[in-house]
Structure 1
Amino acid sequence: MRNSLSLRIMLSGAVVVILTLLITAILLVYLFREHIEQHFDALLFDHIEELVAATSFTPDGSFKLNWSPQDPRFQLPNSGWYWEIRQAEKTLSSSRSLQGEQLNVSKLQGGGVLTVLRKKRLLLSELMAESLLEIQHFSGPDNKLLHAQLLVITFPQANQEILYIATGPISEVDYDVSRFAKQVIISFWVLGSGLILAIVFQVRIALKPLKAMSNAIGDVQQGKKERLPENYPDEIQVVVSEINSLLDHRTETLLRARKDLGNLAHTIKNPLAVIINEADCIKNESGQLIHK
């Protein structure tokens, strides 16, 4: 089996299929995670925009939140879905899920795991200055790893900047990616198995003429046939034609040798007859020796 051509083709085909599917699976999972994270960011920013839109100020400049996001996940304690509004280090308002605690976020442009930092102008008429948006990862009150968006806005009515925070648990992203990865693995396992079986089937079909040619050569060796059949595929027919040419040449050589032997026998037949007759006339031991 070490020198089996079919085994080499099958193994090389299987390796190519496995590597291709593995690389494709990794790429798909990576792209899916990018998509989920972008969707996650967009959802958090929608909640921040809702909080900004709900913000108003009394005539004396006091903060007022007219409504809060209605997402039920913000109502569940320790859900990982939190929002908080701060001015300086004071919490102006927060979600029920926080239960009065503060989020331990890093200062903007400061510590923490900073992944994105960009400026974004919100389409709200009362905002006069550009707002700074930052994305951070940090541990929440229940030690869950959170994905957070922080937005700092300077309102004309407020004396200080106001910080808006919206968070969601990274575990939800990981869960979606893990579930998708399992589906990809199962799908690609089925696909890979089918492709490998197809390679095995194709190799057996493709090499079947070689097996037939081997059997035909065996028939020639046993004297059952004089030549190989001429009904092979074009790629093999070239070899078959060369083998048949060698067989024809061998046949011609044998016929020529037989003819030469026949001519030689005919040539020496008469001289041998004369010698035998002469030997019969010699009665001594020499004649008997010649006769023999």
Structure 2
Amino acid sequence: MKPRSIRVRLLLLAVFGVLLALAIAGAGLVALFGRHVERRAAQELDNTIAVLAGNVAFSAQGDLAVAREPSDPAYRTPLSGRYWQVAEADGPPSLRSVSLWDAALDVASSPVEPGRSTIARSVAPDGQPLLVRETTVIIVDGGRDRRLRIAAAVATSEFDALKRGFALDLLPALAVFGLVILVGAWFQVRAGLAPLADVRGGLRRIRSGDAPLLPDRVPVEIAPLVAEINGLLIERAKEMEKARNRAADLAHGIKTPLTALASDTQRLRARGETDLADSVAATAASMQRVVERELTRARLRPETADGAPLRPVVEAIVRTLRLTPAGEALDYRIEVPGDLRSTADDNDLHDLFGNLMENAARAARTSVHVVARLEGAAVSVRVCDDGEGADPVTMRSLLARGARLDETGGAGLGLAIVSEILSAYGSELEFSVAAHGGLCVRFSLPPAPVVLSGR
């Protein structure tokens, strides 16, 4: 099963690649070291052969003799792993090292040409593998040339021990080297995946309304992905705009016949058909609420990056309420900083505060209190009145779709408009008892980025 994380997958591939490379490098280095040891051993065997060739001679009786043997004490220790022997061209060994005892080295059947040397593999008397070096020299004896085959050998077990020691010394170095490479691979993977983290951050900014599209300054490897995402976002925005326009057109198209139904209701009442008029009016009111709800949804717009100020919206609604019979005598207390902004659309803010402040004005005795402040990562808003308030059961029923604080004065949407708008911004209404006994409505909005003066 493949890991789902790209980072884990890349790191696993890096670990596998590093381990494989280190294994190959370690085996190669040990092999190279072994070849170097063998070449060095061959040079030592050549030196042994040179010493023997310079000190071998025939006596007056025609016997071979060595004036000075090689100085390595291993040649004088039986079966020590180091051996030499001297023989005439076609005869058995006439001279041999003490280490050979009474055995002989297994060399080629035919002698090599004078001045040349060969190297071969053989077996010692005790069964150990040997590296054998052999050459042919010409010795003048009584005016005639005589050919001698001189061979020297060393046990390859010495090479194996040296290679094992070299491998053990090499392991820590390879481990440290591999760890350094893996740390570098981790940083490389992190740097390579950083553009994907930037894309994720861009998508987060799009969702929060801080940006409409992903930035197009990205590495060429992910540029097609970013282009496809931006194209999808553009098409989605166009389709949403078309859907809003269709919903608005449909709602407006139904609103006109509903107005005609209201006139028909009045004529039915004038003719005395009160029951029928009430039934038609109730049906028309229900349809009117649906129309208003769809119109509200059509008015919803995505969050804006710079946001809209809250205080001018509240002040404009207060001016409008002062012109109504229910609101002209009320005291409006506004505690909204002038620089407080939200990414909510300006039209959505008017619908939010307009509906809530209108309801508060209808229920208030003397005052309406509007408070908005930045609390953490949200703009907290309260709209309170000093009216009669509502019990907990009534407050819970206010959350039902289409409910309103008052049921007089037409077939308005009530709090459904506010609920639809807040749901688009990930918020909802909360009801509580105000300080003076009235109703207090709370909600939150996403804040806009802080705008520096002089921007």
Whether TM-score is above 0.5 comes out as yes
- Classify the secondary structure of the residue corresponding to 2:233: helix
- Classify the secondary structure of the residue corresponding to 1:210: helix
* Kept after mapping to 1: 8 A contact 2:134/2:151: yes
2:281 maps to which residue? 291
Supply the distance in 1 between the matched residues of 2:34 and 2:117 (Cα, whole angstroms): 25
Supply the distance in 2 between the matched residues of 1:255 and 1:136 (Cα, whole angstroms): 88
* 1:250 to 1:90, Cα distance in 2 relative to 1, 3 A: closer
- Classify the secondary structure of the residue corresponding to 2:108: coil
Question: What letter corresponds to residue 56 of structure 1 in structure 2?
Answer: A
Unaligned 5+ runs, structure 2: 283-455
For CA contacts below 8 A with separation 6 or more, give which structure has more relative contact order.
1
- Classify the secondary structure of the residue corresponding to 1:3: coil
Q: Greater helix percent: which structure?
A: 1
Give matches, 1:81-100, under 5 Å: 81-86=82-87, 88-89=91-92, 91-92=94-95, 94-95=96-97, 98=99
Does residue 149 of the first structure (1) align with residue 142 of the second (2)?
no
* 1:53 to 1:281, Cα distance in 2 relative to 1, 3 A: same
Supply the distance in 2 between the matched residues of 1:258 and 1:62 (Cα, whole angstroms): 120
TM-score, length-normalised on structure 2? Answer: 0.51
Supply the distance in 2 between the matched residues of 1:118 and 1:14 (Cα, whole angstroms): 54
Give matches, 1:1-292, under 5 Å: 2-74=3-75, 79-86=80-87, 88-89=91-92, 91-92=94-95, 94-95=96-97, 98=99, 101-106=101-106, 108-109=108-109, 119-122=112-115, 133=118, 135-140=120-125, 145-151=129-135, 153=137, 155-157=139-141, 162-218=148-204, 220-221=206-207, 223-225=208-210, 227-230=212-215, 231-283=217-269, 284=273, 285-292=275-282
Question: What letter corresponds to residue 133 of structure 2 in structure 1?
Answer: Q
Return the offset for 1:44: 0.8
Return the offset for 1:224: 4.5
Return the offset for 1:135: 3.3
* Kept after mapping to 1: 8 A contact 2:106/2:122: no
* 1:185 to 1:105, Cα distance in 2 relative to 1, 3 A: same
RMSD of the alignment, in Å? Answer: 3.4
1:113 maps to which residue? none
Return the offset for 1:199: 1.9
- Classify the secondary structure of the residue corresponding to 2:112: strand
* 1:281 to 1:174, Cα distance in 2 relative to 1, 3 A: same
* 1:249 to 1:144, Cα distance in 2 relative to 1, 3 A: closer
Supply the distance in 1 between the matched residues of 2:175 and 2:9 (Cα, whole angstroms): 22
Supply the distance in 2 between the matched residues of 1:291 and 1:249 (Cα, whole angstroms): 42
* 1:132 to 1:195, Cα distance in 2 relative to 1, 3 A: closer
Return the offset for 1:276: 0.7
* Kept after mapping to 2: 8 A contact 1:228/1:240: no
Question: What letter corresponds to residue 247 of structure 1 in structure 2?
Answer: L
Return the offset for 1:118: 7.8
Supply the distance in 2 between the matched residues of 1:210 and 1:66 (Cα, whole angstroms): 82
* 1:64 to 1:47, Cα distance in 2 relative to 1, 3 A: same
- Classify the secondary structure of the residue corresponding to 1:137: strand
Deviation string, structure 1 residues 169-193 (Cα, Å, up to 9, x no partner): 3222122222222233333222222
Unaligned 5+ runs, structure 1: 110-116, 123-130
- Percent identity, aligned pairs only? 24
